Homo-oligomer: A and B are copies of this chain.
Amino acid sequence: MNLKQIEKISKALGDVNRLKILRYMQKHNGKVECTQACKLLTLAQPSISHHIKKLVEADLILQHKVGRNYNYSLNQKVWDKYQKSLTEL
């Protein structure tokens, strides 16, 4: 993993709201309803949407559309690579 990729992932992790979204996902089998996340984080819906996009763009989570909702899963491969890259740098 090159420095630009490490930078991008670190940036994606550098926000409490996004960390809360990630934690919420993990607690809910990768399922997030955007509207529920809004209530939890006291953020407007477009803000949640924006944060989720950052996580997707960093390739940290994978997005699957299911009807009107989305399900997400942690991209374990990228996650592991990131952690390995950090220790090696």
From B19, B83, B89, A3 is in contact (CB under 8 Å) with: B19
Question: Which residues of chain B come closer than 8 Å to A15, judged between CB atoms?
Answer: 7, 10
Question: Which residues A13-34 have CB closer than 8 A to chain B?
Answer: 13-16, 19-20, 22-23, 26
CB distance from A65 to the nearest CB of B (A): 24
Q: A83–B10 Cα gap in the complex (Å)?
A: 12
Report which of B10, B26, B86, B89 forms a contact with A14, defined as CB distance below 8 A.
B10
Q: Which of B7, B14, B87, B89 contacts A83 (CB 8 A)?
A: B87
Q: Does A77 contact B (CB under 8 A)?
A: no
Residue of B whose beta carbon sits closest to that of A87: B83
Residues on B with beta carbons closer than 8 Å to the beta carbon of A16: 3-4, 7
